Amino acid sequence: MSFFNRKQFFLFLIIFAATRLFSFWFSSNTPLWPAHWLNEFVAITYLLFTAYCLIKKYPLGWYLVAGEIILGGGGGYFSFAGVSLRTLLLIVSITIYGFQQLKQRLSATGGSHARGRRSAFGGEIWALLIVAGFSSIIGLSSQHNVKNILSDLIPYCFLLYYFPLKKLIADDKFKKNCFNLLAAAIVGNFLLVAFTFIGYNIGAFAIHDNFYWWWRAVAGGKVTALPFDYYRIVLNEHLLLAPLILWGFYKLITDNKNYLIWTLSALLLLILSINLTRAYILAIAVGALVLFSRAHWKQWLLTGVTFVAIFILGFSSIHLIASRGQSFGFDLLFGRIQSIVLPQTEDSSLSRLILLPKILEKIKSAPIIGSGLGDTVTAYSPTFKSEITTPHFDWGYLEIWAEMGLVGLFAWGLFLWKIIKNNLKKPLILSMLAALMVINITSPALFHVMGIIFLVTLVCHSERAERVEESLISS
């Protein structure tokens, strides 16, 4: 692939690893411990240098923003004054961009030049931001925890990246850098997950040790011990596993001899075999159906069978090695898949079912405008054997309805429908969007930071493709 640059890839992979190592020894701010001064120093230096580049309009400024997002995983590795570097970069970069755009408009002469081309998704994005802001005010008036309100509101603010990104994505150099960042992130994530899995399997790490709490509080992950010394390893950025696997699936249907995409896809499937999130598996199945076409049915079937084989063989091989030859793990694998249909057979699925009536009660109390961002739900947990209060509703669309009301659901529906309508002839975009929408049934996929960034990238890419088509037609 012409976009791949080996030297750039290895540089980004080294940065990926160095970020995790540095963060472990010099941690960022968490609820458990304050940030190390060196972590804050690196964060503020990175922020100020990025701001300088953006003010000077050097392309490096936006590359630094993209680099933190793609290589930075869940965004918790660096912070300053208790605020993550990712959030600080958003505030600074969008503020600088906004002032630059305002200055450009004020200095422009001529109506058509000043106005420019209308943003295809600008109206829908501003609608979501306004509704989120209004829901924050409702949350404050309802005396919801301020941290919970900000935690719910900040992801929506990442929608603002749409405005600079729709211009940046037209630059092939920017897209090339982002591709190499993504390739390094996929390989790095696989190595990190494998390292963590092996560490717990051989007893080098233990549940509730220092590494465990760093993984939870900083890396934004979970570690779950399963039978036969198998460990389920999860990270926040794994939210994009399904769309990325579908991206590889589509690319290989059209170019079955692309070995780079085969390698990246295989690594993603191996990560999924350790992650084992049922919603992701279901989302991939739905997205693959969206990609089906009679014109390429043979390539679709062959690639699909190969992907399934890689996933099952990868999982069974890892499980066999982890269990020291005692089990292939098929009971575990098919048990998790079965719990999609029979959720009462598994604790986490049962907990989700128990939350359902409590969430419906909240919806009934304020169906139109919602109860406001930052709300919580209290219910009995079969895992902890007691009542717990949590801001995690575990039902994506119902959480939108409960907190933002029908107004919020309508704003989201309008945005998603616009994406679908504008991409009816683009099966890859429809497939990846369908996967994210499936995941959002049982998790906050759409309004998670990673989900928002992915959607913004999706709409900017589709808008760019539409403009290219228009220019070709007009010429």
Res 24: pLDDT = 96
Res 467: pLDDT = 58
Residue 223 DSSP label:
E
Res 31: pLDDT = 83
Tokens, residue 188: 């790095």
Measured N-to-C along each axis, helices 396-422 and 122-141 cross at an angle, to the nearest 10 degrees, of 170
pTM of the model: 0.93
Measured N-to-C along each axis, helices 241-254 and 427-439 cross at an angle, to the nearest 10 degrees, of 160
Its sign, for the CA torsion 427, 430, 432, 435, is negative
Res 70: pLDDT = 97
Contact 445, 242 (CB under 8 A): no
Residues in the chain with pLDDT values less than 50: 1, 111-114, 468-469, 471-475
The Cα–Cα gap between 19 and 27 comes to 10
Tokens, residue 128: 């979501």
The Cα–Cα gap between 280 and 337 comes to 11
Res 114: pLDDT = 46
Tokens, residue 296: 């390429």
Give Cα separations from 294 to 248, 286, 308 (angstroms).
19, 17, 20
